[in-house]
Copies of this chain bind each other. A is one copy, B any other.
Amino acid sequence: MSKLNDKFARLGVDSAPGQEGRQQAVDLDLRGAKLEGIPVDFSHGDIDAFKPLPASLESFVSGFHEGAQQAYTEYRGRGSIRNALAEKLAAFSGAPIDADTEIILTPGTQGALFLAMGANIGRGDKVAIVEPDYFANRKLVEFFDGELVPIQMDYLAPETGSGLDLTALEESFRAGVKLFLFSNPNNPSGVIYARDEVIAIAMLAQKYGVNVIVDELYSRQIFDGREFTHLRGLDMVNPENLLTIIGPSKTESLSGFRLGVAYGSARMIDRMEKLQAIVSLRAAGYCQAVFANWFSEPGGWMMQRVASHQAIRDDIHALFSAADGFQVRLPEGGSYLFPLMPEIDLDILEFTKVLRLQAAVSVTPGIEFGPQFTGSFRINFSQDHEAAVAAIRRTIKIVNRYRV
């Protein structure tokens, strides 16, 4: 069992978003008085500040009343819902989707990611992931006994594009990487990959026959009217080698229903359904009914939601930019911001604990996104605007108390 022990020892969750309540108390170097203010949990979005998509509850209730047909769907999700989503997502991503074979409904995008990784990673397979990127990515590679090949993204440096090291990416493909997984917009930095970069990724994937999973969870929340390039819309990668993941948990605030979607490669989706059959059978049947409201928002609703987030982003980014010693990139999409702090007297886990105790602010430590991000933290700024701004002011004050 010792290999299994090791595996689970690496699968820590105590620093993961939402799990702070389970942390053990430790001796902390607390300096100065507590900073008063409305508590803000930046580890995930606040759906009380940004409410779920209108009429989502009504769709759920209708699904419930429909009864057995909605409760017991195929493992890949109810056919009529897949039909509707296939059409909407094809229009959104710029390439057709066969509703029968090329789309699966999952319990959240986390569910889609787990199934997709399980469908692709054999023992010892090399898997390239970006650093920084969503914290579960590396855990999934490890869980499925893949070999992690990190590719650096110098997100603080470039004027445009992500700063992904494309040379290192090609080198990894040449060295036998089977699967490349990346999020676009990037979690945690808010970077959008430039069209040229997405094209380069497509060419490399096609040249080396690498499977690609793109996590586009935040691709509907793009700021400043920027261009967003869907890898599948380029039509440069063999469609059977490409899977796209998206869901309504973030911008649309439907996380409480646990809904996600994966679309693309029929081969991968076939495996994902087999896996889903033993993992949790299906996304909760009644919840699936809520997909009806997605990509069918009331006129102007999405635009307003993106604008509200952009306004919070601007204020928070301005605070970090003005604060001495911080480095931060302006997020181009999504609700995340990933500042690099000036040097302080605390390690990053101590810092997040001190911040919560002294300022009632929760953030996610940078090391969740790659072991080298010891001086960074992630915030999800989908929060009450004023409370978030005040909380960032407190955060900067706490950092200043510990500067070297």
Residues of A near any B CB (own CB < 8 A): 1, 3-4, 8, 11-13, 16, 18-19, 21-22, 44, 46-48, 52, 57, 60-61, 63-64, 67-68, 70-75, 79, 106-108, 110-111, 114, 119-123, 125, 136, 139-140, 143, 178, 255-258, 270-271, 273-275, 277-287
Q: Which residues of B contact A287 (CB under 8 A)?
A: 258, 284, 287
On whether the beta carbons of B4 and A111 are closer than 8 Å, the reply is no
Contact B3 A114 (CB under 8 A): no
Complex contact B277–A257 (CB within 8 A): no
> Complex formed: what's the CA distance from A255 to B288 in Å?
13
- Residues of chain B within 8 A of A79, CB atoms compared: 21
Q: Which residues of B contact A61 (CB under 8 A)?
A: 57, 61
- A386 and B378 CA atoms in complex are apart in Å by 59
A272 → chain B, closest Cβ, in Å?
Answer: 10
Please give, as numbers and ranges, the residues of chain B lying within 8 Å of A3 by CB-CB distance.
Answer: 122-123
Instruction: Determine the chain B residues whose CB is within 8 A of the CB of A13 once the complex forms.
Output: 75, 273-274, 277
Report the nearest B residue to A4, measured CB to CB. B122
Of the candidates B21, B57, B68, B271, which one forms a contact with A8 in the assembled complex, judged by CB atoms under 8 Å apart?
B271
Closest B-chain residue to A16, C-beta based?
A: B277
Chain B residue with minimal CB distance to A63?
B256
Let me know if A1 and B122 touch, CB within 8 A: yes
Q: Are A258 and B275 in contact (CB under 8 A)?
A: no
Q: Is the CB of B255 within 8 A of A125?
A: no
A44 to B79, CA, bound (A): 18
Chain A interface mostly: helix
Q: What is the total number of copies of this protein in its complex?
A: 2
Complex interface: chain B residues within 8 A of A143 (CB): 275, 278
Pair A256/B278 contact, Cβ less than 8 Å: no
Distance to closest chain B CB from A314 (angstroms): 24
Q: How distant is the Cα of A111 from the Cα of B52 in the complex, in angstroms?
A: 26
Interface centre among A139, A178, A274 (most CB of B within 10 A): A274
Also in contact, A18 and B72, with CB within 8 A (given A57-B64, A64-B57, A257-B286): yes
Q: Of B47, B68, B281, which one neighbours A108 at CB under 8 angstroms?
A: B281
User: In the complex the two chains form, what is the Cα distance from A106 to B73 in whole Å?
Assistant: 19
* A–B complex contacts, Cβ < 8 Å, 22 sampled: A1-B125, A4-B120, A4-B122, A11-B274, A13-B274, A16-B277, A19-B277, A21-B74, A22-B74, A47-B67, A60-B60, A71-B255, A107-B258, A110-B278, A110-B279, A136-B277, A136-B278, A256-B285, A258-B285, A258-B287, A280-B280, A287-B287
Tell me the nearest residue of chain B to A51, going by C-beta: B67
Closest to A17 in B: B72
Say whether B71 contacts A278, CB under 8 Å.
Answer: no
Residues on the B chain within 8 Å of A67, using CB = 47-48
Instruction: Say yes or no: A74 contacts B255, CB within 8 Å.
Output: no
Min CB distance A335 to B, Å, is: 14
B284 touching A284, Cβ below 8 Å? yes
Return the contact of A74 from the options B18, B110, B178, B274 (Cβ within 8 A). Answer: B18
Find chain B residues with CB under 8 A from A119 CB. Answer: 8
Determine the distance from Cα of A119 to Cα of B122 in the docked complex, in whole angstroms: 19
- What is the bound-complex CA distance between A44 and B300, given in angstroms? 43
Measured CA separation A353–B13 after assembly (Å) = 46
List of B residues within 8 angstroms of A16 by Cβ:
75, 277
Taken together as a complex, chains A and B put the C-alpha atoms of A63 and B274 apart, in Å, by: 31
